[in-house]
Amino acid sequence: MKLDETFKNTFLNLVAFEVRFPTDLTIQNNIPEFQGSSKERFPIYSEGYSVPIQFQPDNKRSNLLNYAFKNNSDDLEMYLNSYSVLGLRTRAYSNYGEFSTLFLEMIKNFKKIYNINAFNRLGLRYINIIPLKKNLIDSNQLKNLYFSSLLNNEFNKYNCENQHIDLKYKNNDYEIHQQFFFRKNLDNLYEVVIDIDNSFKGLIDLKDEFSEFKNKVNNLHSLIKTKFFEMINNDFLKELRKEVNENETR
């Protein structure tokens, strides 16, 4: 398998890109201009307060204002908040080339309006949901056939009802967070979730046609595909390479 290989039969449920930047008190002031510049692609706008999940609820963090910009199909969303986070997420991912074009367009537009010259964090996340069977024994057999015992020796436990494996570590300048779930969903169908969330923390300059930014994000994407390939076996790779209409719900 090659890192540049694309698959017609994808199990991606959500792909997200996110940047963080130094606190900017003008975020709220320039929302009308930012919305106007993106309205053709993101005509639906909403806002609301929430508490970020990484903080314990308190008065200082309860006023996090989120701005959301969505397309008409409700499968592509750009978001910005008063905690200096800008992101793009989609449930209609086609390929990295198209997705990276979208978020680079967003970044250039954001830099132009807010005059941001650097980011201090980049993040890229891919969540795959793979349906298995309604029968527990059959689902465990497929799980063991498709996926590798990457994180612990209990992975291939035959009578496993549910499973959550969580691993965080560093790879040079990048932080990697891999999660593996084996569970039953609301339709009583067993499924596997592979969630890979990689990030780079450090100053990323936006000069020179965004060359440093592009390089960091491309490295994140390559690392995600590498880690994904490490978690799957050849039998699941065959499933990925199938034509979409050949793949029936198990």
Domain ranges of the chain: 126-245
Cβ atoms 236, 146 nearer than 8 A: yes
pTM of the predicted model over 0.85: yes
Edge-to-edge strands of the sheet including 118-131? 44-50, 64-70, 76-81, 85-90, 12-20, 118-131, 190-205, 174-184, 163-171
* Residue 90, strand partner residues: 15, 76
pLDDT string in tens for the chain (250-residue length): 567 778 877 899 999 999 999 887 778 889 999 999 999 999 999 998 755 444 444 555 556 788 999 999 999 999 998 778 999 999 999 999 999 999 999 999 999 999 888 999 999 999 999 999 999 999 999 998 898 765 555 555 556 788 888 889 998 889 999 999 999 999 999 999 999 999 999 999 998 789 999 999 999 999 999 999 988 999 999 999 886 554 444 3
What's the Cα-to-Cα distance from 62 to each of 47, 57, 104, 208, 220, rounded to whole Å? 14, 6, 30, 38, 31
Q: Residue 235: in which H helix or E strand, if any?
A: helix 234-241
Residue with tokens 């009802």: 161
